[in-house]
Structure 1
Amino acid sequence: MPHADTLTVVHHDDTKTRYTDVRYQLIRDGIRIWSDEGEHSLTDILMTHAYRRGKPKN
């Protein structure tokens, strides 16, 4: 799974949700995100922006 230091999800209504230090998986219905707060599953996404600043943490 890809790792992102910052992951921004843009929803169909143009709102944005930002996550930090996450793993994510793009799926047919949207995106799954794993963070320190747990697993999130979003289906109303328009696009995502993922940024990495170096090697992912193990």
Structure 2
Amino acid sequence: MPHADTLTVVHHDDTRTRFTDVRYQLHRDGIRIWSDEGEHHVTDVLMTHAYRQREATN
């Protein structure tokens, strides 16, 4: 499962939601995101931007 330091979700209405230090999984019906705040499932996704600044650790 990919890990991102910063993950930005761009919605169909051009609004953006930003998450930090997350794991995520893209699906046909959206994106599932796991963060310190819990699990999020976003279905209104136009595109995503994921950035990784540091080395991944297990």
Q: Please, what TM-score do these two structures have when normalized by structure 2?
A: 0.96
Superposition pairs of residues 11-30 of structure 1, within 5 angstroms: 11-30=11-30
Q: Which runs of 4+ in 1 moved over 6 A?
A: none
Percent identity among equivalent residues? 81
RMSD value, Cα: 0.7
Q: Which residue of 1 aligns with 2:6?
A: 6
Distance 1:20 1:38 in 2: 12
Larger proportion of strand: 1
Distance 1:48 1:13 in 2: 14
Superposed CA offset, 1:1-32 (max 9, x none):
00000000000000000000000000110000
Q: Please, what TM-score do these two structures have when normalized by structure 1?
A: 0.96
Distance 1:47 1:56 in 2: 23
